[in-house]
Amino acid sequence: MDKNHSDPILEIKEVSKAFPGVKALDRVSLEVFRGTIHGIVGENGAGKSTLMKILSGVYQKDSGEIFFDGNKIEDITPVQSMKMGLSIIYQELNLVNTMTVGENVFLGRFSEMGGRKEVHAKARVLLDSIGCKIDTEKEVSELSVSDKQMIEIAKALSFDSKLIIMDEPSSSLTADEMQELIKIIHDLKNKGISIIYITHKLDEIFNFCDVVTVMRDGHVIATRNIDAISRNEMISMMVGRTIENEYPPRPNSVGEMILEVEDINTKLLKNVHFNLKKGEILGFVGLVGSGRTETVRALFGADKVKKKSIKVDGKFVNINNPIDAIKNGLAMVPEDRKIQGLLLQFSVDKNISLASLGELTYYGFINEKKERDISERQIKALNVKTPSGKTRIQLLSGGNQQKAILGRWLELKPKILVLDEPTKGIDVGAKYEIYLLMKKIVEEGGSIILISSELPEVLNMSNRVITICNGRITGEFDPLLASADEIMAKAFEF
């Protein structure tokens, strides 16, 4: 380790945390030194977020010790951790949209700060110190994501933070905004503040981090100085196996055109157009909020659009709601499994039969025998691990829940299957099963649109990749020919 930074601000010793069915953190140890920018990388589900939530007091650890600034941390609340000088800037920003910038900086400390005037004056000083010119009287709902991040940083500074943790701050920033953020991070470092920078983008780690810790499956794999690790080393540590093993061989049986999206326009989306062929997996690459999810939702009739013209099998179709979409052979596994996908209080049976209910209905009556058959067939076909079809789906693991949702759609034999973050929050084994399933679907003549935040997943599974940025299609690639860097460049283009 670097001799200059020999005094740790944060020490994590052998911390473990388990959730029902998942060991989220397994004896994780980590030291962060004063005045360093410490990167933490790892794929989704590596345990980064869990670790941060333990630090901030949102979760309580099962075992292990944490020392911050020389003090042992035990049963801490989020506020206590902030007051100790440990601030976290989450991906889902912690701001009240209906309140002003100034009040958000000092949320819950109105009279401590001395009333309205003082709040705004002090917020002004803090914002100026990071070169941010937003009016403190402005309502937060009117701000861009990057502005909101600045306010979070100002909020962190207002607590005299000694350590600021940034959880994937770049995930919705433009290139310029990113440069601005890097400058601020360096300023903070010069003021003696330590930064933990969580990301899964390797470039950022190499650009400005001093030290990096790689996490995988709830373990810390290694902590190295940045000049002591190569990119390839880092990747193999993150993934833990060669990439070939992680994904089944790419299917290749692309046939004739099945879907032609000539134009989709919404408030966000500008003239989005693309096509999909039979037996093809089409990957969408873009940031959260870039328009990738919005595009498929518009396609599926889930949201209102300004203008839309879509051809399925060469014929123009009108899709105004999900029912129309299903009639035209579309199916969608939505982004948020618990809110948009599952009926948590209902049985596995009823969750699986959901989309087929129309087919099971004769003169308004549901054929319950057929319903059970469908469910049994899909549970068997997809290897859904459940005590019985009558079990509440809430009790299943994430992977099995996701397989049940897939079963719900596969029963309809859709021509076009949209998968929005299909492997989010599920374990590696179940992921592989889902990849195999995708392969099987296209080999049997289906087509898939795949959206994922995990670039390797999209690149390894897709026959073709489209980049979306700021509501526009910015590029189209063959993942076998294009490099990840090229594709990312287009996805970040503004």
Partner 1 sequence: MNKKITTQSIIAFARNNLIILGIFILAIITSFVEPNFLTVGNLQNIMRQFGPLIMLSLGMTFIIMGGFIDLSVGGIISLVAVVTVSLIDPIGQVAALMVGVVIGLICGLLNSFLIIKGGAFKQSEALFLTYGMSVVFTAVALIYTAAAPVFLTYSKTDYSIFTAIGERFVGPVSVSFIIFLVCLLILYIIESRTHIGRSICLTGGNMTAARLAGIPTEKTIVFIYAVSGIMAAIGAVVLASRVTIASPIMGKGYETQAILAVVVGGTALLGGKGSVLRTVIGTLLIIMMSNCLNLLGVTTYIQYMLRGAILILAIWLDNRKQYSEGN
Partner 2 sequence: MNTKITEPIKNIFSAQKAPIAMLLIFITMLFFKTPFYTRYNLIDLINSNSTLLIVAMGFTVVLVAGGVDLSVGGVMTVSGIIAIKLINSGVSIPVAVLVSILFGAAIGAINGYLTVYQNTEPFIITLGMGVLLTGVAQELTTARPISGENPAFQNLANYKLFGVVPALVLVMIVTVIVVVWLLRSTSFGRNCYAIGGDYEVAKYSGINVLPTKTLTFVISGVTAAIAGVMLSSWVNSGNSTYGDQTALYIASAVVVGGTSFAGGIGGAFKSLLGVMFIGILSNAFNMLNIDSYIQQLLVGLFIVGIIWLDCYARKVKRETV
Nearest to 90 by CA among 126, 118, 48: 48
Nearest 5°: CA angle at 370, between 365 and 373?
155
395 part of the interface to partner 1, by CB under 8 A: no
Measured distance CA(100)–CA(119) in Å, rounded? 10
- Tokens 């650890």, residue? 61
Q: Is the dihedral of CA 198, 203, 206, 209 positive or negative?
A: negative
What's the min distance (Å) between Cβ of 303 and partner 1?
11
Stretch 245-284 residues interacting with partner 2 (CB under 8 A):
266-268
Please, which of residues 222-251 interact with partner 2 by CB under 8 A? none
- Segment interacting with partner 2, rule: CB under 8 A, options 94-102, 225-233, 272-280, 327-335: 94-102
Angle at CA of residue 450, ends 449 and 452, nearest 5°: 155
- Residue 178 burial (CB count, 10 A): 17
DSSP 381-431: HTT---S-TTSBGGGS-HHHHHHHHHHHHHTT--SEEEEESTTTT--HHHH
Q: Could you tell me which of 476, 435, 471 has the C-alpha nearest to residue 454? A: 435
Region near partner 1 per CB under 8 A, out of 22-30, 205-213, 340-348, 461-469: 340-348
Q: Which is nearer to partner 1, 79 or 366 (CB)?
A: 366
Quote the least distance from Cβ 96 to partner 2, whole Å.
4
Neighbours of 425 (CB within 10 A): 15
Q: Which residue in this structure is represented by tokens 């994904």?
A: 247
467, β-bridge pairs: 285, 475
Q: Does 449 bind partner 1 (CB under 8 A)?
A: no
C-beta of 412 vs 489, nearer to partner 1: 412
Q: Which residues pair with 211 in a beta bridge?
A: 38, 225
Q: Which does 390 bind (CB under 5 to 8 A by kind): partner 2, partner 1, none?
A: none
Q: Which of 170/266 has CB closer to partner 2?
A: 266
CB 468 within 8 A of CB 292: yes
- What are residue 214's DSSP bridge partners? 41, 222
Binder of partner 2 out of 51, 54, 66, 95 (CB under 8 A): 95
300 interface partner picked from partner 1, partner 2, none, CB below 5 to 8 A per type: partner 1
Q: At residue 95, what are phi and psi to the nearest 5 degrees?
A: -125, 150
Residue reference for tokens 């990119």: 231
The reply on whether position 387 binds partner 1 by CB under 8 A is no
| Residue choice 115, 131, 358, 445 for contact with partner 2 (CB under 8 A) | 115
**Per CB under 8 A, 70 contacts partner 1:** no
**What's the half-sphere exposure (Cβ side, CA atoms, 13 Å) at 453?**
20
Q: Dihedral sign for Cα 485, 226, 175, 453, please.
A: positive
**Does 116 interact with partner 2 (rule: CB under 8 A)?**
yes
- Mark the segment that binds partner 2 (CB under 8 A) among 75-83, 190-198, 401-409, 449-457: 75-83
Q: Select the span of 49-57, 223-231, 288-296, 349-357 touching partner 1 (CB under 8 A).
A: 349-357
Size of the site for partner 2 (CB under 8 A): 28
Which residue in the set 96, 243, 357, 436 belongs to the binding site for partner 1 (CB under 8 A)?
357
**413 near partner 2, rule: CB under 8 A:** no
Residue in 306, 338, 385, 390 binding partner 2, rule: CB under 8 A: 306
364 touches which of partner 1, partner 2, none (CB within 5 to 8 A by kind)? partner 1
Q: Is 318 in the site for partner 2 (CB under 8 A)?
A: no
CA distances from 261 to 112, 264, 299, 311, 450 (A): 56, 7, 8, 6, 16
Q: Which of 112, 137, 160, 486 binds partner 2 (CB under 8 A)?
A: 112
How many chain residues are in contact with partner 1, going by CB under 8 A? 27
Chain residues 24-63 in contact with partner 2, contact rule CB under 8 A: 58
Instruction: Tell me which stretch binds partner 2 (CB under 8 A): 4-12, 99-107, 124-132, 247-255.
Output: 99-107
Residue ranges in contact with partner 1 by CB under 8 A: 300, 302, 321-323, 325-326, 332, 334, 339-346, 350, 354-355, 357-358, 361, 364-366, 408
Residue ranges in contact with partner 2 by CB under 8 A: 58, 77-79, 82, 94-99, 103, 107-112, 115-116, 266-268, 294, 297, 303-304, 306
